Structure 1
């Protein structure tokens, strides 16, 4: 994008999209940011404001607001703040070491450093509390939380009273409506009932051939779960098929429509290719739950099963171990890194035990992948 007059803005949007995909796991936002970046690149001239950017196809009010901030401040402060939080999570001592050096070099300003540090820590704690209160609003990221805070929206009560100002999308409004239900834990018994309903429903379909497995906290044998993660294996599709993506999208569309028509899924939150999210409840008097469905080709079943089972902390430990062993582990495949540092073709893996063997890591039972 060397001839792109909006290159700096596009880079910022792509970075945000990759953060949503890699850290938050929100694929549809990743695609939204990339679509916006492509629209800016195709525009051919420098945008002067968020309002101008919003006139382009593929750029909505929220992305336009981020672009406006970027243009006004010279850098996106919200993005920088989010990046700092991520760095602190991966290297918790780095900031403290930096502050200690500054304190030693400038002893006469030590009291100011102490006060600043206290303010930062207090602000961080406040941000954590705000973010925690919004964690059941679908697609709500750290950056979204920062924007709400700027607008004075710090609690669910504030959000309910300022839906227009908050610019919530339809999915987020649904989650806000059922917020109290979505905070409740889900028993294994209830999840098993959903598993049976989905399995019975999909077996009746003649145009898809799938198998299902419940992943996430349920597969880790946790007694009370936060949400329901359903892995759907498309037995007719391989990742090497020339039209694999089209097949998976078609299967997901059929499955989503079927589960909505049979009122197993009550409300749709997102449909992005082979991913579907919705709100479910067993009976009219039962609490609403969040359900995520992932359709995958049969040859990527093991990789996705592994990714959707362990906690984020466990996944990160294994991913880093793989890098040290000369592998790249993605949410779907395991590839060996070649001499040119370019990942090779995906390794054919038939089971999780085989995956652990390949990366030379002792097998960990699903219940211990915390």
Structure 2
């Protein structure tokens, strides 16, 4: 039990409907109520103070089962949401609020007035207002589960009300398969304004979650971690993210959609401060939640999911119970953190430089322009800060790609330009424009001469490429990073020209399409199979020395055909729009 001062349900006798812990979610609800001081009343009696009704049940189903015309007015009847909201506020809330109503519940003045009473005021009512006798003078009724366990047979056993709750096969309560805890806009608004959640711990770090990423996906070779009794055991390869379809659809219909949304904001927060490991930890946890068919509420359930550590599991429980996350709220309210995030959005600025500027007392972009020592790229990033923060609509991404494609084909009709990144995955908007450039038979050197030597100067003179931010040559490929601007617009956009030799195009498409979780997964799978996958191709027999330092590149299995790489690895073909992990 929680400390005595936090036992807000002390003195309450709760009757659940259905009054059985056979359902896993209801069992957890009952356990939580007992932790906070409540007594679970398994047999109906005049000691009951509250009836907690599953959200999918009605008031009439309760009264029909109990053989009552109506429940005694001194008994408070609420839906399942009430308990967790009380725990969230660490206080007993008004049970007559509309969002705690059970469908079909009468709204007589007597019921409303009694519902206003606090539990401490109910003791006198219990002695002065006798429980209305059930029909046939039956004063006490067992629940169906209690009847079966004891072997007793009650009058009215074949009553339709009981038939609704009993399975014909074994006489046990029929449990709805997907009981979820409903949430509503009014309650969410109140929760966000609440300042009474001091009892909820705030974890500023997630060490165990980031550390858990060191374990490979294949270590989780028993799918029963997520759903113990619904799926057969998977082979080790089936546990990899790349083996499943991830199209990003139906997120709103997911029972964990509210939790996913808040965890996504935490992931974006860590992404902004360049904490790639925590970003990845949250994204992997989100991917696990998206696969669940029931709402995950408690920490002990969340930690059983693949790639969910104890700290993120605690945050999942906090979100499920409070509709919010204090860690995220604190991050949003911290003025220094807001300044840090603003500085880190400047092109060419990392967390180290941004933190240094904050420590030096800079608070605005104008402060930096006036006094800070800035590189050329940082000056460009500040001058066009607002433009470079904007998402680029899909149609505009296409337009940028068309400008480059037309210019290349004027040079050589065989040039091919593929728009990669989130655009290729079907996103409606993108953060930048990734253009993969190749030509049949071309190697890295010829692409550099054509694209970097001729194309870039041509587009600069036309006013399309307005700034060169970086040029890199690595792994026999080349990249040109800069900014572009359409002739009909003054808005600057980030653009990357990715030069890929023809024989490496298939592997490059995988690499430059993403997303990063999908890429990590398929590359890890290749490693587990004794192969190596990078942006140049899929290799076997790669020799490594101490510390897994690569000694030889190995033998190339496939580089040009994207689908063939999937086939060799035994991964079902996943079109780009199914790689949204």
Taking structure 1 as the reference length, what is the TM-score of the superposition?
A: 0.60
Quote the Cα distance in structure 2 between the aligned partners of 1:215 and 1:176: 27
Q: Which residue of 2 aligns with 1:270?
A: 470
Q: CA deviation at 1:196?
A: 2.0
CA RMSD of aligned residues (A): 3.5
Q: Which residue of 2 aligns with 1:224?
A: 429
The structure 1 residue matched to 2:446, chosen from 247, 251, 257, is 247
Change (3 A) 1:133 1:200: same
Quote the Cα distance in structure 2 between the aligned partners of 1:302 and 1:213: 12
Deviation sequence 1:92-137 (CA, Å, 0-9, x none): 877959xxxxxxxxxxxxxxxxxxxx99x96899586455434542
8 Å CA contact retained: 1:215, 1:305: yes
8 Å CA contact retained: 2:464, 2:485: yes
Change (3 A) 1:366 1:129: farther
Q: CA deviation at 1:279?
A: 1.6
8 Å CA contact retained: 1:159, 1:166: no
Q: State whether structure 2 residue 385 is matched by structure 1 residue 179.
A: yes
Q: CA deviation at 1:313?
A: 2.3
8 Å CA contact retained: 1:88, 1:94: no
Quote the Cα distance in structure 1 between the aligned partners of 2:310 and 2:453: 47
Quote the Cα distance in structure 2 between the aligned partners of 1:222 and 1:362: 22
Quote the Cα distance in structure 1 between the aligned partners of 2:439 and 2:378: 29
Report matched runs for 1:1-370 at 5 Å: 85-89=275-279, 129-130=338-339, 132-134=341-343, 136-153=345-362, 158-163=364-369, 165-205=371-411, 210-238=415-443, 244=444, 246-251=445-450, 252-273=452-473, 274-283=478-487, 285-338=489-542, 342=550, 343-370=553-580
Q: Which residue of 1 aligns with 2:247?
A: none
8 Å CA contact retained: 1:188, 1:223: yes
Change (3 A) 1:125 1:364: farther
Deviation sequence 1:165-194 (CA, Å, 0-9, x none): 543221221121111112222222222222
Quote the Cα distance in structure 2 between the aligned partners of 1:129 and 1:301: 41
Deviation sequence 1:319-368 (CA, Å, 0-9, x none): 22222222222233222244757551332233221111122222222112
Which ranges in structure 1 are unaligned for 5 or more consecutive residues? 1-82, 98-117, 239-243
Quote the Cα distance in structure 1 between the aligned partners of 2:309 and 2:371: 37
Quote the Cα distance in structure 2 between the aligned partners of 1:130 and 1:337: 49
8 Å CA contact retained: 1:234, 1:295: no
Q: CA deviation at 1:295?
A: 0.9
Larger Rg: 2
8 Å CA contact retained: 1:329, 1:335: yes
SS, match of residue 275 in structure 1:
strand
Q: Which residue of 1 aligns with 2:244?
A: none
SS, match of residue 467 in structure 2:
strand
8 Å CA contact retained: 1:327, 1:359: no
Q: CA deviation at 1:275?
A: 1.3
Q: CA deviation at 1:233?
A: 0.6
Taking structure 2 as the reference length, what is the TM-score of the superposition?
A: 0.40
8 Å CA contact retained: 1:182, 1:289: yes
Q: CA deviation at 1:281?
A: 1.9
Q: CA deviation at 1:247?
A: 3.4
User: How many residues are aligned here?
Assistant: 259
SS, match of residue 204 in structure 1:
helix
Quote the Cα distance in structure 1 between the aligned partners of 2:437 and 2:524: 27
Change (3 A) 1:167 1:203: same
Q: CA deviation at 1:301?
A: 1.1
Quote the Cα distance in structure 1 between the aligned partners of 2:275 and 2:461: 42
Which ranges in structure 2 are unaligned for 5 or more consecutive residues? 1-272, 283-307, 313-325
Q: CA deviation at 1:309?
A: 0.7
Deviates most, 293-302 or 277-286: 277-286
